[in-house]
Chains A and B, each alone.
Chain A
């Protein structure tokens, strides 16, 4: 990040795609380092920031894989607006739990959830043009767009998130942190 020297803070956007929000939770788990981070960046778009559109940012952070058309739309939007795109967590980077859906037919999965559920009576699969359609397969984000850095983990632990962010914010590549990063 070239402009860490200046006083202007870096702009960061985070998005939550096909994931459980656990990665965002783990992000908050960096605890007192949040204060440190706040000195360096402005989070301008996030599930916890009330904005509709993603503004142009220096760093875009993605939690979750691509499960539906909306996920893909948001991912492409962020990619086009972020200088650096970071994959946070296993769903975004490796596929992880949502990828287990790939073991079944999409229609079977929908039926299981909305029609054949034990507590469901007269259920039907919701259908509306407002609702995003499921993609045929769940895939990690780098199968769709270029990703600049990866922080693996389900969720990534706070230490690996903080170390990776520190590296990125000082202009270095975020690498696999030995003995800290993990896939589970």
Chain B
């Protein structure tokens, strides 16, 4: 979204309302006014969206020009003499407002936006007491078909802010204007109800709507017209870590909106806005539970801790503490993870701390040689800057909707093409200029063959051990097409597309990374072979992890194990520390864990893992504790504590201390000492990254002793 201005700023001088003002060339009159604290009324203008000069409220008088000009679209030039507040302008603006009120059915007492409505405020600012034009009283529809967004055409002033946000920010372009003149209306797709449209439910249109035409069906009901202060935080529903602004009252979350961060990441998605809100307000666990004779019983914390302590200290686990294992979710904050690790090492005396996540947590860390650092990976800004996006094994709209928006933007702007390797169609497939349905698990073969083709056909100058090219998979192999489901011509086409791009970016998701280290290496080989690096030496590879803190989890050093290679036979007691809504990976995993002596689940809500558990203890929800998260870009971010803990739920440290006490030990958490070194940078900064490799790695080169990067 950021438009970087590489030209040097040229200062210009203007006189506005008799005051000497300075600006820079390229700014609009409105920009200069804002920078000089001169208020110009606007309605269709919205920071970050291209101005259209539609509402005519920002008209100004420019000396020497007969016509009035809109401040939002007129470039400021040196020596301009401008008036923004004259009786004539005031009168015209008031008339414009009255025309807006006369055009549709604006009934303030019945509108959820009343009190925060920009049209209403403009009416107040201009002393509008009534409308001198006869009301048109059109009969307009209310589109209530969408689960989250309602669209009341009666209140729409056709400012097109929603249309522009949907297009320029979200890239969905679901909304647009239809019909002409006074019959113009906001329409979804080709005039279908919003609920049946291509809407991605991000809710950005609601945020930019100046009136109550678009409103939030979930949050408006609870906020009403009260002024509620908001808290800045970050979203923890996926690895992107978008900035949010959250409104709360008492113990409930009222609304999540997009927040302002240091970068241009100014939108949030359906998951961040609505699903996180639902999770935070859903009835949560309030008391520990024990399963006795197949029946759950609520118990006090002491009873829970005693039972767990007994299981840990008796039987085979008591004799050999390595039979006690932990699975910690990377959707928890680093502080909680660090405490659990310390607790396991110091109190339980077991080093078996793994991750409640898929195998990609390990495969990516090893393939990139992270070793407790962040991967030398691309960032979102590199995606905006690319001319070819190759998405491999990822449905971006599901995995990281805000990243999907970034792809939509570059494709819509025709600055990039989108290519997809995925066995299944994704929400972004319609954007793709080429897509290959690889057989599941065969991506590394196809990608290896693609690199080989690029070199063999002289599409690129091979970089990094040209000899290794001969060890890459070959499309000439007889079974190639049968094994991969990909024809030779498809590989050739993909090779030429990648080679034809100057700044390709490879976006990889769990569909690829869960295939293992080799699959990740095949993408690294492409980046190395084609020399696809960012200016500061990171691979042009963007990894979309499954969970909010996957990147943070990898900073704790090489991950011991994940759910994928969990050793059931060596475990008697398993403690699972889970986030709010954890899908268990893979299917059937829980059944294998069922025979264990004791499974204890620590989670905020009842979820699938509780089904096989013998004890369950409540933890805080995402909204009830503060903590550090590392985004997929490697940025250290703090999520704020938004709600107080309900009665009965203990802070993470006290939960662990209670178990330690029941074991006859004490537990004093030292989060500082147990956090990975890399995150000790200022909030908002990036953790140090590992060095990228200069070599192409193949199975053969590894077998010959070339060390894997890990």
**A93 and B108 form a contact (CB under 8 A):** no
Alpha-carbon distance A176/B127, docked complex (angstroms): 5
Output the least CB separation between A107 and chain B (Å).
15
User: Counting CB contacts under 8 A, is B115 at the interface?
Assistant: yes
Q: Do the beta carbons of B109 and A87 come within 8 Å of each other?
A: no
Which of chain A's residues has its CB closest to B142's CB?
A: A103
- Residues of A near B105 (CB, < 8 A) are 99-100, 102-103
Q: Which of B107, B111, B123, B129 contacts A99 (CB 8 A)?
A: B107
Q: Tell me the residues in window 68-107 of chain A with beta carbons closer than 8 Å to chain B beta carbons.
A: 87, 90, 93-97, 99-100, 102-103
Would you call A52 an interface residue if the criterion is a C-beta within 8 Å of the partner chain's C-beta atoms? no
Complex CA gap A137/B105 in Å reads: 13
Chain A contact patch, size range: 20 to 34
Instruction: Count how many chain B residues have C-beta atoms less than 8 Å from C-beta atoms of the other chain.
Output: 25
Q: Mark B82-117, 1 if CB is under 8 A from A, else 0.
A: 000000000000000000010001011111001100
Contacts of B129 in A (CB 8 A): 93, 150-152, 175-176, 181
Please give me the residue from chain A that is nearest to B127 by CB atom.
A176
Nearest CB of A to B165, in Å? 26
* Cβ contact within 8 Å between A154 and B127: no
State whether the Cβ of B137 lies closer than 8 Å to any Cβ in chain A: yes
Chain A positions within 8 Å of B101 at CB level: 94
B127 close to A183 (CB less than 8 A): no
| Segment with Cβ contacts to B, from A30-38, A42-50, A139-147 | A139-147
Residue from B115, B128, B140 within 8 A of A176 (CB atoms): B128
Closest CB of chain B to A53's CB: distance in Å?
28
- Pairwise interchain contact A152-B107, C-beta atoms closer than 8 A: no
Assess whether A184 is interfacial by the CB under 8 Å rule.
yes
A143, A154, A183: residue with the most chain B Cβ atoms closer than 10 Å: A183
- 1/0 per residue, CB under 8 A from A, across B516-557: the answer is 000000000000000000000000000000000000000000
Residue numbers in A under 8 Å from B225 (CB-CB): 184
Complexed CA–CA distance, A151 and B123 (Å): 14
Docked Cα-Cα span, A97 to B132, in Å, equals 19
The answer to whether B108 and A103 touch across the interface, beta carbons within 8 angstroms, is: no
A182 to B107, CA, bound (A): 12
Check if A143 sits within 8 Å of B134, measured CB to CB.
yes
B114 contacts A142, CB within 8 Å?
A: no
B130 at the interface (CB under 8 A from A): yes
Q: Are A184 and B130 in contact (CB under 8 A)?
A: no
Cα-based distance from A162 to B137 in the complex (angstroms): 32
Task: Please give, as numbers and ranges, the residues of chain B lying within 8 Å of A97 by CB-CB distance.
Answer: 107, 109-110
* Residues of B contacting A137 in the complex (Cβ-Cβ under 8 angstroms): 137
- Nearest CB of chain A from residue B5's CB, rounded to whole Å: 39
Indicate which residue in A103, A140, A178 contacts B124 across the interface (CB closer than 8 Å): A178
Whether B123 pairs with A183 at a CB distance below 8 angstroms is: yes
Closest residue to B154 on the A side, CB-wise? A103
Once the chains bind, are B130 and A154 in contact (CB under 8 Å)?
no
User: Smallest distance from the beta carbon of A26 to chain B beta carbons, Å?
Assistant: 13
A182 contacts B130, C-beta separation under 8 Å: no
Please, how many angstroms separate the alpha-carbon atoms of A108 and B376 in the complex?
Answer: 67
B114 in contact with A183 (CB, 8 Å): yes
The yes or no answer to B139 lying at the interface (CB within 8 A) is yes
List chain A residues, Cβ under 8 A from B128. Answer: 176
Closest 7 CB pairs of A and B: A150-B129, A176-B127, A183-B108, A154-B109, A184-B108, A184-B114, A93-B130
List residues of chain B with CB under 8 Å of any chain A CB.
101, 105, 107-111, 114-115, 120, 123-124, 127-132, 134-135, 137, 139-140, 154, 225
24 residue pairs bridging A and B, Cβ less than 8 Å apart: A93-B129, A94-B101, A94-B108, A94-B130, A94-B131, A99-B107, A100-B105, A102-B137, A103-B140, A103-B154, A137-B137, A139-B134, A143-B134, A152-B130, A154-B108, A175-B129, A178-B124, A181-B129, A183-B108, A183-B109, A183-B114, A183-B120, A183-B123, A184-B120
Query: 16 other contacts beyond A96-B109, A99-B137, with CB at 8 A cut-off?
Result: A94-B101, A95-B135, A96-B108, A99-B107, A102-B137, A103-B105, A140-B131, A143-B135, A150-B129, A150-B130, A175-B129, A178-B127, A183-B123, A184-B108, A184-B109, A184-B114
